[in-house]
Structure 1
């Protein structure tokens, strides 16, 4: 898998959404065995900064298997397919916002 870009823009529900990966405080120097689950150039402790509509969301990276995912329990972001990332909101039920790459 290729590393995720450090930023990208999508249109989600007809409004621009910008995504910036934020790096955590994990220091890999001196680790003989490395850190597991470092897919796509991200590490545990990293996050994303999402700007959408009048919201600015800072979501921490989960340690779920597979493509890196980010959530604060209410909002969810994951890019498995660049043309249609997962952007969900939990409000009693799950609202799936439709996104496409610009």
Structure 2
């Protein structure tokens, strides 16, 4: 009897974990503010490898915030797909042209044809990028 109860408890735990994962995935896919500004993203070549930048607008309605250039307000982020990795970088609070960083990676399109892309941990490693048509 005790063994049956243990098996039933494990099955409930597994079902609860699966339900939580499914709900999390559903929330991520339908999150408000996850309105991508372009369906295909911007295409770049960084250090010889293709990079796709997908900017997402923030969910904060803050038109009076002075740091909202290029329709990028707090809550905005960019997804970079490069070299078999996908980076989601949040918008920084820096003034001026929008920049994105998670403390390790940095992205900014001061020059839209040659964005700044760098890895900030240890020795700063910059990657040369250019827009692809």
TM-score by length of 1: 0.85
Q: How many residue pairs are counted as aligned between the two chains?
A: 94
Higher Cα Rg, which structure: 2
User: For 1:51 and 1:37, how far apart are their aligned partners in 2?
Assistant: 26
- 2:48 corresponds to 1:18: no
Q: Quick one: higher RCO (CA 8 Å, sep 6+), 1 or 2?
A: 1
Partner of 1:54: 84
Structure with more of its chain in strand, by fraction: 1
TM-score by length of 2: 0.66
Structure with more of its chain in helix, by fraction: 2
RMSD after superposition: 1.5
- Give 2:103's match in structure 1, choosing from 70, 73, 76: 73
User: For 1:90 and 1:38, how far apart are their aligned partners in 2?
Assistant: 24
- 2:130 corresponds to 1:100: yes
User: For 1:63 and 1:13, how far apart are their aligned partners in 2?
Assistant: 28
Unaligned ranges ≥5, structure 1? none
